[in-house]
Chains A and B, each alone.
Chain A
Amino acid sequence: MATVFKRPESLTDAKFHYCPGCTHGIIHRLVAECLDEMNIREKAVGICPVGCSVLAYEYFNCDMLEAAHGRAPAIATAIKRLKPDCFLFTYQGDGDLASIGMGEIVHASARGEKISVFFINNTLYGMTGGQMAPTTLLGQVATTCPYGRKVENEGYPVKMAELLAGNEGSAYISRVAVNSPANVVKAKKAIKKAFETQAKGLGFSMVEILSTCPTNWGLNPVDAMKWMEDNMIPYYPLGEFKVKEGK
């Protein structure tokens, strides 16, 4: 019997701990499939964030390091510089990357570090119980903006893909979503393109991936997908923001 679907080699057998309907799991799988298809698992080094995906080192079947909150790009910088043949990826949430780690991500991009960043934007702090993130939408309720995010108080949600695309060192920047099969296919293409950008040595690459948090959004998995489509995608438009072509 022909095998038509199997677990990627780049994932371990460990069961994901994510909540039902959380799209962290889909994104893990896409990254792993790309490592498999590009045959780079044995050269890959992944850096986990602090956030719901802090345990990603138990799921990816390659060398892994667990970072302090927000510092993954600095760690990846050093490993890539010292081991240029390795493929470095960081996997970071929006609190991790866009709040406490804003300095590290902006400078890794500005320096054109040859690393690939997978940025999981679920509009809040999942792990700590649904507090506001820099990416929380205007009007959205979170435990630390219980009356809805207001411009006067919390300012505007940060658009990381647009921000980093402005850096000369950024070679590939895109935003994707995982709310439909068609979008999942596009997300995988973007992830692969990020790794290819690194393989070609073109510079920094980041894929911002719009992701769900049904638990803290207070929605069931299906409604969460719909909420992402109706609320996130209009504010965080999908597409490629920077594509440096190789020579």
Chain B
Amino acid sequence: MNKVLMKGNEALAEGAILAGCRGFFGYPITPSSEIAEYMARKLPKIGGIFVQAESELAAINMVYGGASTGTRVMTASSGPGLSLKQEGISFISEAELPCLIVNISRGGPGLGGIQPSQGDYFQATRGGGHGDYHTMVLAPASTQEMMDFAILGYELADRYRIPVVIMAEGTLGNLMEPVIVRDEVTNFVEKPWAISGCQGRKPNIVNTLHLTAEELEGRNRHLFSKYEDIQMNEKRAETFMVEDADIVVVAFGLLARVIKRSVIDARKHGVKAGLIRPMTLWPFPDEHIKAVTDTCKVILSMEISMGQMIQDIRLAAEGRVPVEFYGRIGFLPNPEELTREILAVAERKGL
């Protein structure tokens, strides 16, 4: 087993390459730039293409073009860059082109800061650009998952012809940990829809314009039947000590890993805590939440934002248990602070 010490951003980039990514198009922004730098070093040596675009608008449209050739391509950015990419993500979603879009998240709104954040949750899980659509959103919690989710991301993107977003806090991009380097992906799906010149076949057209109401409604219905399949098959979450838990914390990303410590510490203080960590933010693993509403007394959403995922948790809990919130902005809270908060909620609820 090949274990290597890697930064999260590098592990993600290497995972993408192992998955067959041969085109990267990006514009520098902290804390995501290391992905672009890694790709700039590696891709030209393995027959891939790296282009530093003039803007995130151009970068995502290069991804649109690149993905239309059937090549596994990607871009990576953060906050303000993701905002600019939304136009392209809407087009790519409607054109049903597979690609990987990475958000190494920083705080906002506006220029915000370069500290870790989960404040782009709504943007990522609600589509983000104009029109009715979703992207799949994966939330890794370790350097290993940065690599593994890049590989998984391409597999899902190709299977469902959908852009896959990987969203990780800036801290995770910079976190150095030992990573088991995975094998190179060798089986790829056929892409008869790809554009590369029409030799020996009828021309292929990649298009997002549908001028009649019937056609447009048909397209939207088609997309949403695909989204139903995804919701049926692809919800993923990790659960930790939830079976007997009175208080279930829901958190994603690196934050969720920190909270594991707090869950254990809370139990030492006599409070039966547990954790659900959504690994897919869209589709949201609502069944995992629903499953604990018969046994727990309260759910606590912890986020590095003012509270966004809590809305999905409340929808999943259907009012059966109260859902509380604790959030901080601009940094990853330490386990002691999070334990204190779990204990405080337990006390308020008389647990």
Contact of A200 with B by CB under 8 A: no
Contact of A150 with B by CB under 8 A: no
Contact of A131 with B by CB under 8 A: no
On whether A82 and B71 interact (CB within 8 A), knowing A63-B204, A74-B65, A77-B51, the answer reads yes
> Which B residues are in CB contact (< 8 Å) with A184?
none
The answer to whether B73 touches A63, judged by C-beta atoms less than 8 angstroms apart, is: no
In the complex, what residue of chain A is closest to B54 when comparing beta carbons? A107
On whether A79 and B68 interact (CB within 8 A), knowing A63-B205, A65-B206, A103-B54, the answer reads yes
Report the Cα distance A203→B142, complex, angstroms: 44
In the complex, what residue of chain A is closest to B92 when comparing beta carbons? A68
Report the Cα distance A93→B65, complex, angstroms: 19
Q: What is the 8 Å Cβ interface bit string for chain A, positions 62-78, against chain B (1 contact, 0 not)?
A: 11111110010011111
The answer to whether A76 touches B65, judged by C-beta atoms less than 8 angstroms apart, is: yes
Contact of B22 with A by CB under 8 A: yes
The answer to whether A74 touches B91, judged by C-beta atoms less than 8 angstroms apart, is: no
The answer to whether B53 touches A74, judged by C-beta atoms less than 8 angstroms apart, is: yes
Segment of B146-154, B195-203, B258-266 engaged in the interface with chain A: B195-203
The answer to whether A42 touches B51, judged by C-beta atoms less than 8 angstroms apart, is: no
> Which B residues are in CB contact (< 8 Å) with A77?
51, 62, 65
Report the Cα distance A63→B199, complex, angstroms: 10
> Which A residues are in CB contact (< 8 Å) with B204?
63-64
- Within 8 Å by CB of A42, from B53, B54, B199, lies B199
On whether A79 and B61 interact (CB within 8 A), knowing A66-B207, A68-B91, A71-B88, the answer reads no
Report the Cα distance A66→B197, complex, angstroms: 15
The smallest C-beta distance from B193 to any residue of chain A, in angstroms, reads 10
The answer to whether B49 touches A67, judged by C-beta atoms less than 8 angstroms apart, is: no
- Within 8 Å by CB of B65, from A42, A55, A65, lies A65
> Which A residues are in CB contact (< 8 Å) with B334?
none
The answer to whether B62 touches A78, judged by C-beta atoms less than 8 angstroms apart, is: yes
The smallest C-beta distance from B43 to any residue of chain A, in angstroms, reads 11
Report the Cα distance A43→B69, complex, angstroms: 13
The answer to whether B49 touches A68, judged by C-beta atoms less than 8 angstroms apart, is: no
Contact of A174 with B by CB under 8 A: no
Report the Cα distance A55→B210, complex, angstroms: 10
On whether A44 and B197 interact (CB within 8 A), knowing A61-B203, A78-B25, A79-B66, the answer reads yes
Contact of B55 with A by CB under 8 A: yes
The answer to whether A65 touches B205, judged by C-beta atoms less than 8 angstroms apart, is: yes
Contact of B346 with A by CB under 8 A: no
The answer to whether B65 touches A79, judged by C-beta atoms less than 8 angstroms apart, is: yes
- Within 8 Å by CB of A75, from B61, B199, B208, lies B61
- Within 8 Å by CB of A78, from B54, B65, B196, lies B65
Contact of B46 with A by CB under 8 A: no
Report the Cα distance A189→B54, complex, angstroms: 32
List B1-35 residues whose CB lies under 8 Å from chain A.
Answer: 22-23, 25
> Which B residues are in CB contact (< 8 Å) with A162?
none
The smallest C-beta distance from B102 to any residue of chain A, in angstroms, reads 17
The smallest C-beta distance from B109 to any residue of chain A, in angstroms, reads 24
Contact of A226 with B by CB under 8 A: no
The answer to whether B25 touches A66, judged by C-beta atoms less than 8 angstroms apart, is: no
Contact of B40 with A by CB under 8 A: no
Contact of B282 with A by CB under 8 A: no
Q: What is the 8 Å Cβ interface bit string for chain A, positions 129-153, against chain B (1 contact, 0 not)?
A: 0000000000000000000000000
Report the Cα distance A55→B207, complex, angstroms: 10
In the complex, what residue of chain A is closest to B66 when comparing beta carbons? A78
Contact of B87 with A by CB under 8 A: yes
Contact of A54 with B by CB under 8 A: yes
On whether A65 and B195 interact (CB within 8 A), knowing A75-B65, A76-B65, A78-B51, the answer reads yes
On whether A68 and B23 interact (CB within 8 A), knowing A78-B73, A83-B197, the answer reads no
Contact of B181 with A by CB under 8 A: no
Contact of B64 with A by CB under 8 A: yes
Contact of B57 with A by CB under 8 A: yes
Report the Cα distance A43→B195, complex, angstroms: 10
- Within 8 Å by CB of A82, from B54, B58, B64, B69, lies B69
Most buried by A among B55, B197, B205, B206: B197
List A29-78 residues whose CB lies under 8 Å from chain B.
Answer: 41-45, 47, 54-55, 57, 60-68, 71, 74-78
The smallest C-beta distance from B61 to any residue of chain A, in angstroms, reads 4
On whether A82 and B22 interact (CB within 8 A), knowing A75-B64, A104-B61, the answer reads yes
The answer to whether A71 touches B68, judged by C-beta atoms less than 8 angstroms apart, is: no
In the complex, what residue of chain A is closest to B55 when comparing beta carbons? A103
Contact of A243 with B by CB under 8 A: no
Contact of A159 with B by CB under 8 A: no
The answer to whether A66 touches B206, judged by C-beta atoms less than 8 angstroms apart, is: yes
**A/B interface sample: 16 pairs, CB < 8 A:** A42-B197, A42-B198, A43-B199, A47-B65, A60-B203, A65-B65, A67-B64, A74-B53, A74-B57, A74-B58, A75-B64, A78-B62, A81-B51, A86-B196, A104-B54, A107-B58
Given contacts A64-B207, A74-B61, 17 further A-B contacts (CB under 8 A): A57-B207, A62-B203, A63-B195, A63-B204, A65-B65, A65-B206, A66-B207, A71-B88, A75-B68, A77-B65, A78-B23, A78-B62, A81-B66, A103-B54, A104-B57, A106-B54, A111-B51
